[in-house]
Amino acid sequence: MEALQRRDAVREKLATLLAGDRPDGEQLMAGLLEIRRGEDVEACSIALDLLARLKLPELQAERLLRDLLRHRGEVTRALGRDPGLRVAAIDYLSNVRPLLANPTIVERSQLERTERSAITDELTGLFNRRHFMSTLALEVRRSRRYSLRMALLMLDLDGFKDLNDLHGHLFGDLVLQRMGRVIRRAVREADVPCRYGGEELAVVLPETDRLGAFALAERVRQRVAQRFSKPIGAQVVSVRVSGGISAYPEDGNDATMLISRADEALYLSKSRGKDQISVYHSEQRRDVRYPAKIAAKITLARPGDEAPTGVVALNLSRGGALLVCAESILSGTLVSLRFDGRDPGGRPRSWLHAGRVLRVESGGWPADGRRVAVIFDEPLPEDCLFQHVRRTKIVRLVQGARS
């Protein structure tokens, strides 16, 4: 995420520098090399792309820029005036070293608008499907090259067809427009929100693990519910969204597989009652385990117990938990676990979840404790799981996204 933000910041800085068209050549090259060392971005490659819309590897771009600056000096001496870097570049790349077959002169602001419209969905303001596919493939390659995590979030508006049938397609367009604004404001700068097709949306999440993706998806889901409590025109409609998440490399090593897995998770959310987020898991184990928070507040009760027993959770999954319990307990015992946490508004909330003891092992912590493996009767909700497992740095970054 930070690498993408640095690259965007450098691109903006260089665009401003090149807009004057007559930067000092030596100072320009010295500045580019300094930016490359300090920011760890391909500054020469970015500058060449801004200058002539040529995309070359960094070292090739550096050599070509030096040739362009040298040619500019030769033209200046021949004409008795400085033609500017851009004109010198067009001459060099068209006549001396013909890398541009038929260059077109376009005002930069107009070019930026044209390029933006080519990758943007006009209705929602999100990126379009073509840009989504190219970005997802690019991020998969980048994640593979640098051993990074990434995630994909697929979203679908619940009951959108019924809403269209009841209120008309023009009203449905207003809903999609508002949905686009909600998503753009909820995601981070480095994320890529797109319209996948119809009422289905997608967000590419660079350098994000499963829990980080779930945190952001929950942010989007909650904000959709809040934003659509306000009227559209003169009407108030209840609009909710379901989502599915897949992660690289656990769930797939190419764009096609990640989309398929995220869709499977999305369908799972729909089948569970909608208005929720599900995470795809591809491990051989039925549900992936996460280390539990040290401060997680969990109690265990058996039929007939007068009071619940406090337990220490070692790890949690949607399907079960590994706990440390100080009291004696037998395999096969039916139990009820209470998870204490908070709702999105910060108010206390509890989840009650039934299950049975799968096995008991001695030698837990504390010294007289027992490790107790519990399997749940029903999957643990994602929001409960998220609140009770350890959060990585990536999750904290997601929570710090734009408000």
CATH of the domain at 367: 2.40.10.220
Note whether residue 393 is domain-resident: no
Cα separation, 118 vs 190, whole angstroms: 20
Of residues 184 and 13, more confidence is placed in 184
Judgement on whether residues 275 and 220 belong to the same structural domain of the protein? yes
Instruction: Give the E-state strand segments of 41-141 in sequence order.
Output: none
Domains contained in the chain, number: 3
pLDDT value at 395 more than 50: no
Q: Could you tell me what percent of the chain has a pLDDT over 70?
A: 85
Q: Could you tell me what percent of the chain has a pLDDT over 90?
A: 16
Judgement on whether residues 201 and 79 belong to the same structural domain of the protein? no
Structural domain ending residue among the three candidates 260, 279, 298: 279
Q: What share of the chain is helix, strand, coil (3-state, %, to 5)?
A: 45, 20, 35
Cα separation, 201 vs 226, whole angstroms: 18
Q: How far is CA 149 from CA 212, 235, 263, 348, 398, in A?
A: 10, 42, 19, 33, 14
Note whether residue 190 is domain-resident: yes
Supply the CATH number for residue 273's domain.
3.30.70.270
Would you tell me how many other CB atoms lie within 10 Å of the CB of residue 122? 8
Q: Average pLDDT, stretch 199-211? A: 90
The least confident of 142-151, 193-202, 385-394 is: 385-394
Q: What is the pLDDT of residues 324-344, one digit of tens each?
A: 888 888 888 999 999 998 877
Judgement on whether residues 247 and 198 belong to the same structural domain of the protein? yes
Note whether residue 401 is domain-resident: no
CB–CB of 148/181 below 8 Å?
Answer: no
Give the confidence band of 109 by pLDDT, cuts at 50, 70, 90.
low
Question: Which domain range does residue 170 map to?
Answer: 119-279
Judgement on whether residues 275 and 126 belong to the same structural domain of the protein? yes
Judgement on whether residues 195 and 268 belong to the same structural domain of the protein? yes
Burial class (CB in 10 A: 0-12, 13-18, 19+), 396: exposed
Please report the pLDDT score of residue 367 as a whole number: 46
CB–CB of 297/348 below 8 Å?
Answer: no
Of residues 133 and 368, more confidence is placed in 133
Judgement on whether residues 97 and 124 belong to the same structural domain of the protein? no
Judgement on whether residues 16 and 88 belong to the same structural domain of the protein? yes
Judgement on whether residues 135 and 75 belong to the same structural domain of the protein? no
Of residues 230 and 354, more confidence is placed in 354
